[in-house]
Chain A
Amino acid sequence: MNKELIELRVNGRTHEIAVEPSALLLDMLRQGLGLTGSKRGCDDSSCGACTVLVDGVAMMSCTLLAASCEGQEITTIEGVREHGSLAAIQKAYGDWGGAQCGYCTPGFIMTVKSLLAENPDPSEADVRRALSSNLCRCTGYNQMYEAIRSAIEAERKGLAVAK
């Protein structure tokens, strides 16, 4: 299959890469751009470990063609840090035990980012529903809820200080 040259915009930078039309976004991110934070946990959108934001919407990059993402803004886990420091949600996941083995964590954090962008004050039911697109085998999810709650609080305090 002939490769096509596309422009992929990832974490605020534009990359010109040659992709086969069948190339998956996850493979392009991991092998093409060396952004290995997005993980492969299955091959069929079962687990959500590969979740990235495409124009702000959480998508599973293991079943998304790279070529179809041209011109869209892709955010991966590597683009979540704020000013070089841990974002509130990243810090909270560490502090509250939201990550154990950490393999599903990037996907979960992207899902949470997308949830909070849409609904800054989710109820626990909202959180459960949103997280159900991703699977974790370590935590039983409970400590993730605490992490998310604490991240929301931290963000709120941060905003209050900024005002």
Chain B
Amino acid sequence: MSNDFSIIGKPTAMVDAAEKTTGAGKYTDDLGLPGMLIGKILHAPYPHARIRQIDTSRAERLEGVVAVAVGGDAPNPYGILPVGHDEHALALDKVRYVGDNVACVVAASEAIAEKALELIDVDYEVLPAYFDPEESMKAETDLIHENKPHNLEKDYHHCFGDPDAGFAEADQVLEARFISNEVTHAAMEPHSTLASFELDPHTGKLGRLTVWSSTQVPYYLQHKLSLVLEMPMQQIRVIKPLVGGGFGGKSEVIPLEIIAAIAARKAKAPVKITYTREEVFWAHRGRPRTIIDLKTGVKKDGRITAVKARVVQDGGAYCSYGVVTILYSGALLGALYDIPNIQYDGYRVLTNKPACGAMRGHGTVNVRFAFESQLDELAAKIGMDPAEIRQRNLLQPPCITVNGLRVQSYGLPECIEKTVERSGWKQRKGKLGKGRGLGIACSHYVSGAANSIIRSDMPHSTVNIKIDRDGGVVVYTGASEIGQGSDTMTAQIAAETLGCSLSRVRVIAADTDLTPIDIGSYSSRVTFMAGNATLRAAVEVKKQIAAAAAKKMGCEVEELVFRDDEVKRARVGAGDSPAQGQPAQNPRGPNSRGPLFPQGSSSPPLVPSSSQHAEQASVSGRVEGQILRGSLQQKRKDEGLKDWMTFEEAVVAAIDFHGTLTGTGSYAPPQEARGGKHKGAGVGPSPAYSYSAQVAEVSVDEETGEVTVHKVWAAHDCGRALNPVSVEGQIIGSVWMGMGQALTEEMVWKDGMLMNPGLLEYRSPSSIESPAVEPIIVESIDPEGPFGAKECSEGSLAATIPAIANAIYDAVGVRLHESPFTPERVLAALRAKKSAKSLNLTEGVDPTAPERFREHGGVLLFKGKGPERHALDPARRASPAAVEGAD
């Protein structure tokens, strides 16, 4: 494939950048409609309770309240996965987590709505609740969902190859438990939805519904609205305005999106609901707390012989994407390294906490942390450099892994090489002095799932292109821009393919009335799938233009080159034999952009210099106007055959022939990439995988346990970087989010209550805590990606956590098995290493404290005497007989 591009591969400001930097762009909460009312949701105060009765009469009587919606107003169940329709927009008979949705008040103002919430009387019968997944799995009674015995959402047991033989053959085997605590997306824009019904002119009743929503998946939203509201899909229009970040948190239907529509129907007026930041934390759908029991065997030469993983995910109260998450955790043990034998046992467990769903690096991140940490430990055991052990286990693509994943382009070797080189790994590793170290880790991710969550043969992406007489290119795509650059990528691919300038292209995206179906922005699928669909649509239109242009130029279609807003015959280089028997002489020398002006014409040669072109085009636009361009074209016709045309002229020529130009392209993953036949084989396969290798440099304060990340070198194989500035932004953003999970971010639960539902308490890193990240782009040019491109927005995240963990080991010699690596956990590990005497700091605080702390992973155990406590510290009141906690 040629590398000579005019648009792609060049750092390009996003097409919507000015809207964002001037504040002119509209996000859902910035929208308003005449007569719009505000909705506020009443949330459950108990983690598990039966609703005996709801009395909304007092609230309804409050001046300014228009309606109060409850579960009975739209009782149909829904859920993002066809196998997981276990949610109701508003609870019917039971609430399953603190924050579950009970009722919605619609009022003239937010203040009135809030006051009305207090006037709703709900009679609850509190039920025993489950907070720890391993406890929850033992449940016999008071099940969270009656049809899920033992509160088990789903379990999978996969065995590929012969793991027992693999372990028998290994020279070193390690087995350990890893825990990754729960994290959430915390996108800057809180979820918001505005719903409005039109009156039907024929029936005079409520007719079509329009919903503006902060969503990554407008079409799924349209589908679920149709299900719950019992309206045909074609009566529902979903529009996605600007979205202020998603990271997976908006990749499924969030309750408020449906509640707003139910409320608008009941209030017979437009209703907007915007979550507060606290509600965003309750809505959650983030990465589940994951317990990973991992066993890996290697030979002395570093080759991995077998892997066995038992993964338990604390899924929260509803299915959400859970079945997919638990499958990804197992499937993506493959396709990074060559592992001949894999055993996987995955359990997705229900608990009385907000549902977990998809989050950046869906399903792979926590298991990758465990795997890469254990691989590092094994390298140390066999005395091999951690970078080298990774190089010893590379795949030999093209290949199909033992668990049925097809790998074609594979930039991992180059990623490792580059990151090792740039970080000075070989010279600096182990020589950074006390408390400072380097760690390496790798990761990968899908470029879109090869199998849609809805089982059907429909294309995953479809794109329409329309070009009219003005020469403007309008691309209609269902792909959802959420800040990752989807619209810009679409415009770039269309412009590159059509050989026109970026400013000519207008992208109309994510409006179910206007744009063809695209299943949404998740699983890093947009560049690969919507990009391919855009490419195909553009090629389709280009064919029509080329046919007309070739006719005008009296040449073959194949001779035409579309570039820089011109259509011209391919340059005839010196010594090449000219096509169509034209004379090969070129009076303007070899650098001239077009071939000869036809002989015999009396007019001067027509301008094959781009600056002159531009001038002429603008003059023609100004003087003659768009409508007259056809006649301009007519005039030129008399000038005989040409060997170049402006893009507009070529377009007009084609329109004269076809009418307005339209082209449709769609993409469905090829059958070979759709994976094996075993149960659960649908999740994991992708048409292409991205690869990432990272080195982190950290220092650890041995007094406080504080870890500082100084720099991360992150090499990422994105196939081809269509827009390098965006690719780098995605790599840095992924690494940064991984660092947040590694060091500070954690949802802390106590008895089903979230202890830190605020951005500062959740400890999203600020610029002070954020390291320099050096992104290194590796281009493996995928055979099926658009211009060779693959994903770049998620794959880098998973490597960061183990890279930091491994760097901590390099710095101070302790292995951390639980993330985030907070000062408490690092100190505990340091003290354990010194085998100092143990001390349980939580004893005496509350008799149930150790158990409760374990529930959210905060094992506050210290070995040894521990730091001197303040005189009033509750821990000093501890009885000396208190038992030592478990490790």
Residues of A within 8 A of B (CB): 30-31, 35-44, 46-47, 49, 76-78, 80-81, 86, 89-91, 93-97, 99-106, 109, 127-129, 131-132, 134-144
Contacts and interface: CB of A to CB of B under 8 A. Distances in A.
Nearest to A76: B23
A137 B19 contact: no
Contacts of A106: 21, 23
Contacts of A132: 766-768
29 contacts: A36-B23, A37-B22, A38-B23, A40-B274, A44-B758, A78-B23, A86-B21, A93-B17, A94-B17, A97-B725, A99-B21, A101-B243, A102-B19, A102-B20, A103-B189, A103-B244, A106-B21, A109-B21, A129-B768, A135-B188, A137-B245, A138-B245, A138-B483, A139-B732, A140-B733, A141-B767, A143-B725, A143-B728, A144-B767
The 4 nearest A-B residue pairs measured at CB: A37-B23, A101-B483, A102-B20, A140-B736
Contact of B764 (A37, A81, A135): A135
B190 A41 contact: yes
Given A96-B725, A135-B764, A101 B188 contact: yes
Interface stretch (B25-33, B69-77, B614-622, B832-840): B25-33
Contact of A94 (B13, B243, B737, B759): B13
Contacts of B247: 137
Contacts of B760: 44, 46
B768 A40 contact: no
B726 interface: yes
B187 interface: yes
A109 to B, nearest CB: 6
B732 A140 contact: yes
A142 B242 contact: no
Interface centre among B16, B190, B736, B766 (most CB of A within 10 A): B766
B244 A101 contact: yes
Given A41-B190, A132-B767, A140-B732, 7 more contacts: A35-B23, A41-B189, A41-B277, A77-B23, A86-B18, A95-B11, A102-B483
A69 to B, nearest CB: 18
B189 A143 contact: no
A31 B246 CA distance: 25
Contact of A81 (B16, B22, B245): B22
B14 interface: yes
A128 B768 contact: yes
B186 interface: yes
A144 B767 CA distance: 10
B276 interface: yes
B185 interface: yes
Given A97-B728, A101-B245, A142-B732, A42 B187 contact: no
Interface of B: 11, 13-14, 16-27, 29-30, 32, 185-190, 242-247, 274, 276-278, 482-485, 725-726, 728-729, 732-733, 735-737, 758-760, 764, 766-768, 770, 772-773
Given A94-B17, A100-B245, A137 B22 contact: no
B30 A43 contact: no
B768 A46 contact: no
B730 to A, nearest CB: 8
A77 B21 CA distance: 8
Contacts of B32: 31
Contacts of B26: 36
A141 B188 contact: no
A100 B484 contact: yes
A74 B20 CA distance: 20
Nearest to B277: A42
A144 B483 CA distance: 15
A136 B24 CA distance: 19
A94 B772 CA distance: 20
Nearest to B724: A97
A154 B358 CA distance: 41
B482 A101 contact: yes
B729 A97 contact: yes
A42 to B, nearest CB: 4
Contacts of B21: 86, 89-91, 93-94, 99, 102, 105-106, 109
Given A36-B23, A102-B20, A46 B758 contact: yes
A36 to B, nearest CB: 4
Contact of A43 (B11, B22, B23, B277): B277
A142 B23 contact: no
A40 B14 contact: no
Nearest to A142: B732
Nearest to A45: B760
Contact of A141 (B187, B484, B770): B770
B367 to A, nearest CB: 23
B886 to A, nearest CB: 36
A77 B18 CA distance: 12
A90 B17 CA distance: 9
Contacts of A94: 13-14, 17-18, 20-21
B733 A139 contact: yes
A141 B22 contact: no
Contacts of B485: 100
Contacts of A99: 14, 17, 20-21
A140 B483 CA distance: 14
Nearest to A90: B21
Contacts of A36: 23, 26-27, 29-30
Interface centre among A36, A91, A104 (most CB of B within 10 A): A36
Nearest to B25: A102
B809 to A, nearest CB: 24
A39 B22 CA distance: 12
Nearest to A143: B729
Contacts of B30: 30, 36
B266 to A, nearest CB: 24
Contacts of B11: 95
B460 to A, nearest CB: 23
B768 A42 contact: no
Contact of B767 (A40, A42, A128): A128
Nearest to A94: B17
Contacts of B764: 135, 137
A105 B274 CA distance: 20
Interface centre among A36, A47, A141 (most CB of B within 10 A): A141
Given A36-B26, A40-B29, A105-B20, A143 B732 contact: yes
B21 to A, nearest CB: 4
A78 B19 CA distance: 11
Interface centre among B11, B20, B277, B735 (most CB of A within 10 A): B20
A43 to B, nearest CB: 6
Contacts of B17: 93-95, 99, 102
B131 to A, nearest CB: 26
Contacts of A135: 188, 759, 764, 766
B22 A90 contact: yes
Given A97-B726, A102-B25, A106-B23, A40 B190 contact: yes
A142 B768 CA distance: 11
Contact of B276 (A43, A77, A127, A140): A43
Contacts of B190: 40-41
Contact of A49 (B20, B188, B278): B188
Contacts of A93: 17, 20-21
A94 to B, nearest CB: 3
Contacts of A86: 18, 21-22
Contacts of B770: 140-142
A35 B30 CA distance: 9
Contacts of A102: 16-17, 19-21, 25, 242, 244, 483
